[in-house]
Amino acid sequence: MGNCFGSHPATDPNPSSSTRASISTPGTSRDYSNGGGLSATTSSSAGRSRFSAAASDDTCVSGEILPTSNLKTYTFADLKNATKNFKSDMVLGVGGFGTVFKGWVDSKTLSPSKIGTGMIVAIKKLSPESTQGFAEWQSEINFLGRLSHPNLVKLFGYCWEDQELLLVYEFMQRGSLENHLFRRSVAIEPFSWDIRLKIAIGAARGLAFLHTSDKQVIYRDFKASNILLDGNYNAKISDFGLAKLGPSEGNSHVTTRVMGTYGYAAPEYVATGHLYVKSDVYGFGVVLLEILTGLRALDKNRPGGRHNLIDYAKPLLSQKRKLMSIMDARMEGQYSSKAALQTSQLTLRCLESEPKNRPSMKEVVEALEQIAAIRKPKESKSKSVVFSPSPLI
């Protein structure tokens, strides 16, 4: 038997970390140098420390930073059993860290259960070939283990046994936004305008929570593959392997190695290694553009001059007629052109080259909520997707 967590990784004083410093192309993963999470900096009080935000911050929705992570530890044998020995028919997807399997646990105790009983979870297993590894796994535990919010995916537990590193998450029934936006398959129905907006609002609320929490968290890897969807299209942000604590008081940015995903990373960050809270807003703008157009941020299969979606589409966003030429045709025009134009104007603001000219994520949430209230002229109210109100703090 290995050391399946005698001590919590957050307390490990000397984690190994990768030294690669690069940006990956979408679909593959990238590097990180950040094993540190909230553990060293968040004060804990008796019980749970409620995430604090001003009373007027209700669009940032409730969330909390837990004083300790409260995660369950699993043995490798537990997770082997829960996944039929990591059988191929249990695979949910593959990413840069490794393979994600479907598994079963008891819904109350979260202990492994017989296949088919209890509830489904997603189990991410580090692949031996992965260029990501311990530091990313540790960062995930340190951040996601302590952050709780309806728009962040829940981490239930982990396993660390010899070389085996695994993470156990809540199961997100509809997989990633990336799969839905870009996979051309008859099995995947194109999203309607309302669902797209609902997803954008959910993801924006998740980022707004990170940015306004007591210890600002910069997510650093915002992209369509890291937005997961539950059965009701509620969006939840996953993968905190690259997350970083925001700048200390008086500083505008943190300086760090450049890591992330090409096409999504903010230009100031790629050029200088200066990472701002607003660098995440840029990434959000890229995803918003992907949601509008149904096109990937980077795609070498597009004709020359169109590989980079931002370069190609940005000049088309401010005029209604040009915008309509790049809106995702799979929506078959079933949206209000006023709502589309306002969303594209918001996208442009998020993509401003100067970080300080970009809106905060709180402003983005408010703007998107207002856009969601714009209906197509003839549309009856009963047809619209129900937006759950922002829970108050």
- Which residues are near ligand ATP by CB under 6 A? 29, 92-97, 100, 122, 124, 153, 169, 171-172, 175-176, 179, 225-226, 228, 238-239
Residue number closest to ligand ATP, CB atom: 95
Stretch that binds Mg ion, among 81-89, 225-233, 249-257, 368-376 (CB under 5 A): 225-233
Q: How far is the CB of 214 from ligand ATP (least distance, A)?
A: 26
The least CB distance from residue 120 to ligand ATP, in Å, is: 9
**Least CB distance to ligand ATP at residue 87 (A):** 16
Q: Which does 179 bind (CB under 5 to 8 A by kind): ligand ATP, Mg ion, none?
A: ligand ATP
How many residues bind Mg ion (CB under 5 A)? The answer is 3
CA distance 138 to 229: 24
CB nearer to ligand ATP: pick between 227 and 372: 227
- Is 221 among the residues known to form the active site? yes
Give the binding range for Mg ion (CB under 5 A) out of 164-172, 202-210, 231-239, 320-328.
231-239
- Residue with CB nearest Mg ion? 239
Mention every residue, 6+ apart, whose C-beta is less than 8 A from residue 102: 83, 90, 91, 92, 120, 121, 122, 123, 171
Nearer to ligand ATP, 32 or 269 (CB): 32
Cα angle: 198, vertex 92, 87; to 5 degrees: 165
Active-site residue, selected from the candidate residues 31, 57, 194, 221: 221
Of 170 and 214, the one with the shorter C-beta distance to ligand ATP is 170
Query: 104 φ, ψ to 5°?
Result: -125, 135
Q: Which is nearer to ligand ATP, 35 or 263 (CB)?
A: 263
> Which residues are CB-neighbours of 101 under 8 A, at least 6 positions away?
83, 86, 90, 91, 92, 122, 123, 124, 125
| Residue the block writes with tokens 């553990």 | 39
CB of 265 to ligand ATP, least distance (A): 13
Name the residue nearer to ligand ATP (CB basis): 106 or 332: 106
Q: Which residue, 33 or 59, has its beta carbon nearer to ligand ATP?
A: 33
Is 261 one of the binding residues for Mg ion (CB under 5 A)?
Answer: no
In SS3 terms, the chain reads as CCCCCCCCHHHCCCCCCCCCCCEECCCCCCCCCCCCCCCCCCCCCCCCEECCCCHHHHHHCCCEECCCCCCEECCHHHHHHHCCCCCHHHEEEECCCEEEEEEEECCCCCCECCCCCCEEEEEEEECCCCCCCHHHHHHHHHHHCCEECCCECCEEEEEEECCEEEEEEECCCCCEHHHHHHCCCCCCCCCCHHHHHHHHHHHHHHHHHHHHCCCCEECCCCCHHHEEECCCCCEEECCCCCCEECCCCCCCCEECCCCEECCCCCHHHHHHCEECHHHHHHHHHHHHHHHHHCCCCECCCCCCCCCEHHHHHHHHCCCHHHHHHHCCHHHCCCCCHHHHHHHHHHHHHHCCCCHHHCCCHHHHHHHHHHHHCCCCCCCCHHHCCCCCCCCCC
Shortest Å distance, C-beta 316 to ligand ATP: 28
The pattern of x and - marking residues 75 through 114 that bind Mg ion according to CB under 5 A reads: --------------------x-------------------
Indicate which of ligand ATP, Mg ion, none lies near residue 228 (CB less than 5 to 8 Å, by partner kind): ligand ATP
Nearer to Mg ion, 98 or 294 (CB): 98
Q: Which stretch binds Mg ion (CB under 5 A): 1-9, 130-138, 224-232, 369-377?
A: 224-232
Using CB under 5 A, which of 34, 99, 138, 226 touches Mg ion? 226
> Shortest gap between Cβ of 266 and ligand ATP (angstroms)?
17
Given 31, 78, 239, 290, the residue binding Mg ion (CB under 5 A): 239
Q: Of the listed pieces 158-166, 192-200, 236-244, 352-360, which binds Mg ion according to CB under 5 A? A: 236-244
Residues annotated within a binding site for ATP: 125
Known catalytic residues are: 221
Where along the sequence are the contacts to Mg ion (CB under 5 A)? 95, 226, 239
